[in-house]
Amino acid sequence: MTHSLMAMTYTWWRGDDLPSLPPLPDFRCERVVDVPLLTKLHNLTPKKIEARLEDENTAYVAFLENQPTGYGWCGAKSVGVADIFWPITPPNRGLWDFATLPAWRGRGIYPHLLQAILRQEQNDAEKFWLGHRVDNMASKRGIEKAGFQLVNFVVLTSEQQIRLVPRGNLARSYEDPQGLSMGFADVADEDIVAFDFGSLSDDDLQLAS
Ligand SMILES: CC(C)(COP(=O)(O)OP(=O)(O)OC[C@H]1O[C@@H](n2cnc3c(N)ncnc32)[C@H](O)[C@@H]1OP(=O)(O)O)[C@@H](O)C(=O)NCCC(=O)NCCS
C-alpha cells in the first residue's frame, strides 16, 4: 500500500538549544495588531486578519532596516494549512503561515523570526510545532537552522486520509497536535512516495482563515 508524502512536521520544546545564527543587523521582531499593515503584508482581507486575531493567534512581523519584511503566526487555539485546521491546547503553540516578502528572501530572516518568536513565547508555552510542504526546501532549511527537530511525516494514504507517520525524535512525535487530531500511522519508508503537487507552490496556497 503506497502513501504519498506531503509534508513534514517539527518541534521545539522549552529548554532546547537555539543554535546561533549568522548575525542579521537591524533585524527586529514585533507582535503586531495593526490590521491594515497585516492585511497589506498578507494579501488577505481585513476580516480574515481580524478573525485570526480574535481566535487566540498572535501575529509577528519581521522588520529589517525598519521595513516590514516577513511575518508568521503563533496559534494557541487552532492552526492550519489551506482549508484544514486542527486544535492546539496548552502547553502547546502552533506556528503557521510564515512568509518572507520575495525581495528579502535568502538573508536569514525566517530562522531569525522563528527564534525571536520562541524567545518571546517560551514563558507562556512549552512545546512549539510547525511544518513545511515536502518540496519546500527554503522552509526546511530555515526551520532546521532555527533549531527545530523533525517529528512526523504527513502522508496521504491510499484511502485519501491524512495521517502522521512518526520519524526522527519519536519520544516527541506522538504529542504532535496535528497527529492527535488526524491520527498516526506506522508506515515503512519503502511504502512512501513523494506527493505530486503539480505546479501549485506554497505562495499559491490560499489560507482559509
Ligand atoms: C520559506 C521562506 C519563509 C524562507 O524565508 P527566508 O527569510 O528567505 O529564509 P532564509 O533566508 O533562511 O533562506 C532559506 C533558504 O531559501 C533559499 N534561498 C536563498 N536565497 C533565496 C532567494 N533569493 N529566494 C528564494 N529562496 C532563497 C536557500 O535555500 C536558503 O537556505 P540556505 O541559505 O541555507 O541556502 C520564504 O522562502 C517564503 O516566504 N516562501 C514562500 C512562503 C512559504 O513557503 N512559507 C513557508 C511555509 S512552511
Which pLDDT score, from 0 to 100, does residue 75 have? 98
In the chain, DSSP assigns E strands to: 3-13, 27-32, 57-64, 67-75, 78-81, 84-87, 92-100, 127-133, 149-156, 162-166, 192-194
Contact 178, 129 (CB under 8 A): yes
**What's the chain's average pLDDT?**
94
pLDDT band of 208, cuts 50, 70, 90: very low
Which pLDDT score, from 0 to 100, does residue 202 have? 62
Euclidean distance between CA atoms 132 and 206, whole angstroms: 15
Which pLDDT score, from 0 to 100, does residue 120 have? 98
For residue 135, is it within any domain?
yes
Q: ω before 177 within 30° of 0 (cis)?
A: no
For residue 43, is it within any domain?
yes
Nearest CA to ligand 1 atom 1: 139
Which pLDDT score, from 0 to 100, does residue 117 have? 98
Does residue 142 line the site of ligand 1, with CB under 6 A?
A: yes
CATH code of 189's domain: 3.40.630.30
Nearest CA to ligand 1 atom 48: 132
Domain ranges, residue 105: 3-195
Neighbours of 17 (CB within 10 A): 8
For residue 35, is it within any domain?
yes
Does residue 106 line the site of ligand 1, with CB under 6 A?
A: yes
Q: Is the pLDDT of residue 158 over 90?
A: no
Euclidean distance between CA atoms 133 and 90, whole angstroms: 25
For residue 203, is it within any domain?
no
Quick one: which of 25, 26, 74, 63 has its CA closest to 41?
63
Which pLDDT score, from 0 to 100, does residue 197 have? 86
Does residue 51 line the site of ligand 1, with CB under 6 A?
A: no
Euclidean distance between CA atoms 191 and 119, whole angstroms: 38
Domains contained in the chain, number? 1
Gap from CA of 138 to ligand 1 centroid (Å): 4
pLDDT band of 200, cuts 50, 70, 90: low
- Condensed to tens digits (0 to 9), the pLDDT of residues 61-105 reads 999 999 999 999 999 999 998 889 999 999 999 999 999 999 999
For residue 164, is it within any domain?
yes
Quick one: which of 41, 3, 43, 4 has its CA closest to 134?
4
Euclidean distance between CA atoms 112 and 39, whole angstroms: 22
- Condensed to tens digits (0 to 9), the pLDDT of residues 36-51 reads 999 999 989 999 999 9
For residue 207, is it within any domain?
no
Gap from CA of 141 to ligand 1 centroid (Å): 8
pTM greater than the 0.85 cutoff: yes
Does residue 54 line the site of ligand 1, with CB under 6 A?
A: no
